[in-house]
Amino acid sequence: MKKYINIFFIIMICIIIIIAFILINKKSTKTNAEPENKGNEGMKVTLIGGSNMKDKGDINSAGYVIRSKNGELIIVDGGRDIDSELILSYINKYGNGKVDHWYITHAHEDHIGALLKLLTDENVNIQIENLYYNLLTDDWYKKYDERGYETEHAMLENLNNSKIVNSISCEKGQEITMDNIKCEIIRIANPEITNSDNGNETSMVFKMTATDVNKSIIFLGDAFTKTTQELLKEDPSKLKADAVQMSHHGQNGVSKEVYQIIDPDVCFFNAPQWLYDNNFNNQGYNTGNWHSIEVRGWLEEMGTTNYVAADGDQTISFTSNGLEKIEE
């Protein structure tokens, strides 16, 4: 009997040793593997298709929805007034009616029409905690940007709208912290530029970096030739980014040299298909006067991945592994 008891204890000890070995090995494997919260890092950037899509308007507009590591909701521009319902659906889905941070590149209708519609519609109940912008005076817009004046005037009139908690006029070099995302204001509107594509040249340029994974996107708005000259004087490290919002919808915006300094892996085109293909009035590929094919040639040399708003809403996850398109 004693012999069987000894055998039993030996077997139990062996089992305990085996279980301990398995647990230790499992812990070691887990340590060497990716963290369990790998998906909860960096940021998610959604390129809004909206009215760029053929069946939604087939016209250029610009809007982005960004989510931080812990779910803060950031919007850049937002698109045309006809995109307002789409933007509102994102605000309700990810912010429960609240936007933590809303950035304006410049006050043209194809960029902020949706924002104005949401602000002025009494039936829309939203709250914008922080609105960031850099705008010039009403007199300047009236004198130098007649085609954009109506929307620019309306935006100036609505900076104190009751749906906005804080309206913040940005300064060059300003840094804004939003959860794990840092935004640096690189360039602001220059009132001395009066002999170029004036309204587009008022674009605020800024870079958002998910600091926990060191991945970034730079927003160029509709920056044009004079803005190019200013950007080329900047410290190149300020412009370097993993992704870029293509200037002026990817046509004749900033120069090749600016994109070479940015050196992006991913490019976002806020463009309908006809503009992306420089297709004038359905006459065929590269028949128009835009420079989109030329710009695409620059990017082909750099080996970028391009996402086009004409293809609909697309979400790119910025993580320590890189930038990857995801389905949600």
25 confidence band (pLDDT: 50, 70, 90): very low
The yes-or-no verdict on residue 30 having pLDDT over 80 is no
Q: Which residue has the higher pLDDT, 10 or 126?
A: 126
Q: What HEC string does 106-128 produce?
A: CCCHHHHHHHHHHHHCCCCCCEE
Q: How far apart are CA 285 and CA 279, in angstroms?
A: 5
- Burial-class residue 265 by CB neighbours within 10 Å (0-12, 13-18, 19+): middle
89, containing H or E segment: helix 84-95
What is the residue whose two structure tokens read 């905690």?
A: 129
Q: What is the pLDDT of residues 173-182, one digit of tens each?
A: 999 999 999 9
- Arch. (CATH architecture) of 39-326: 4-Layer Sandwich (3.60)
Q: What is the pLDDT of residues 243-294, one digit of tens each?
A: 999 999 999 899 999 999 999 999 999 999 999 999 999 999 999 999 999 9
Please state the pTM of the whole predicted model. Answer: 0.88
Task: List beta partners, residue 316.
Answer: 45, 325
Q: What is the pLDDT of residues 90-102, one digit of tens each?
A: 999 999 999 999 9
